[in-house]
Structure 1
Amino acid sequence: MRFDEVVLAIMKAVDGQRTVSSPYHLIKGKKSGQTIQDIGYFGLHPYFAVLPKLDKKDYLDSIERLQAQGLLVPDDNSIQLHQSATDLQLPATSLNGWKYRGNERRFFSRLSLIVQTMSNFLQGHKRFDPVVTDEAVQSWTKSYLHRIDFRSSEVQAAFKVQIENSLALAKTAEMHKDILMARLSGYGVGGLTWDQLAAKHQLLPIDVKIAAVEALHAWLDVLEGMEYPLLTGLLEGIIQQSALTESAKRTQNLYERGFSLSQIAELRQLKTSTIEDHFVELAMNDPAFSPASFMDDELFESIRRISKEMKTKRLRDIKERLPDASYFQIRLALAVRGEAV
């Protein structure tokens, strides 16, 4: 996907129920209650945190392009799409942001440093400026290199073959794979910059960044098959073992031990609204979660019915019909089991 297509995919999913800035926060991976619940409400898992360092100007430029193409109606209050945008078929994507949450960059940093090290040692050069300056990545990579006996020519050859074979199976465009590999550096060869890749492929820099993330997500999906031992080791700490954020998991543990919402807030010294966000997250991700502790069946069914009748997840609109329901109860009812309106 191009970056504008990512933005448009999010806008089509929310269908006018959020502001124009909401996709920006989602793409950057903002862990606010609103963003997290929108992921479940509107099925936006692929796009979460795909560009954590997204510049606001790049996003606003995309909005301008969509408006210039007649796809997006200028509106400061909410997303308004022209019918042409609603009818537009967007390409499939291998993005899986909620699963990786930016950790794919750590995987690629490790890979980049390993490839650079092997390449230089192969040529007899033991001193070089590392392409990755992050000390945590350097420390991890140094330990990993010694575990696999990276000086061995057989290991180096096997590492190269496993990269080629696994990447070939990744379900993404060949251009995306080329962009990703062109970022790697080796002995006497520097990885291309985003601007250089954009010029080479006649794309915007923001588009080649998205292409690289798509390639990484598709590749990581292959590597999870555990068929490439030298590469699967790089997945340590990369794959999210739980659909919940770390903070929500801590709230879940306390809730399962019998603590109430208010008690959890006091114990964790967090705002009640923050703990409410965690329960909404739990409701979206745990099929066994029951809202019975927070509302009776009648209120739960009323919220769901009104949401479906009005074809909206706007909390304010639903509350106007159910003034006795709290905003938290409405959010929770809409989130349970992630059922769509």
Structure 2
Amino acid sequence: MKTPVTSFDVARLAGVSQSAVSRTFTPGASVSKATREKVLEAARKLGYRPNAHARSLITGRSNIIGLVLSDLDNLFYPLALERLAKCLQADGFHVLLFITENNNSDSLIGELLQYNVDGIVLASTTLSSGLAQHCADANIPVVLFNRVLSKDDTGAVSSVRSDNISGGQEVARFMAAAGNRRIAYITGYEESSTSMERERGFREGLAEYGMRVYARAIGNYDFETARRATLELFSSSDDHPDAIFVASDHMAFAVMDTLRHELKLRVPEDVSVVGFDNVPQANWPSYLLTTVEQPLDLMIEATIRLVHRSLADEDTGPRCETVVLPVHLVIRESARKPAK
């Protein structure tokens, strides 16, 4: 059996110390360009591959970040997943992806902890305060991405989200100023903090104009459910909504398709539609969706910054910080515009 090549073998061939070899293969470690080149060339000649497991035993760190999602159908999250994973990998982390079939990650946390993860990022999902505290007791930082703990839960959990409330307010003002008077809302998950905050802001914005939500239906952030919600809103022979605010772009596309192709209504002449997220497809000519843009890159930067801060403060335990980032309305062609 061939004897495995070790870091000492690489060090001898490169003419450097074993610690220089270790630093070369440790992301972020300090090593000169000349030394790095000599080590990499020696490693290539010997066929050396660093043993991540052995390094984790020495450092006490796995360099693994657990990433949990529950909503890959929603077009916002595959984009967020790709950028999160790329940024984490660029910082020397390995990403362990878990998909939960519901909007709560409690069932997966125990399994995640078995992998000795250094941190956990929960996107489009949340967890109970009990498990949040369990992670804190294990000194494992948890960051909620585009979510917050429910008002009844507490725990050492950080969160990053956009300003959903001000986004909802801005949509309400835009629609009311454009002359819409029968404005409906299609929610995401009823228990989702993002959907609740967007609806709260929307109602507050309408109240500024002495208006209320004309009608409401549940979309569950799902394309087919949003389609049925649209049909429900237009099932009555009475005056139907003249505008719809939809809690996500993914659902807004279903709303527009249903209005046009099943109900034979014009967008925006008969019904205005506004979404939330500003995914790339919102700018496709088929939709040109007016929508609230979430600052995705800033959200990802803040998430990774919180992970790094928590890991740097391992002696004091995980941080509990909240980051709320500003949003803005991107005006396209799916909604009637206010007069100048």
Scaled by the length of structure 1, what TM-score is found?
0.25
Q: Identify the structure with the greater strand proportion.
A: 2
Greater radius of gyration (CA): 2
Q: Identify the structure with the greater helix proportion.
A: 1
Q: Structure with the greater relative contact order (CA < 8 A, sep ≥ 6): 1 or 2? A: 1
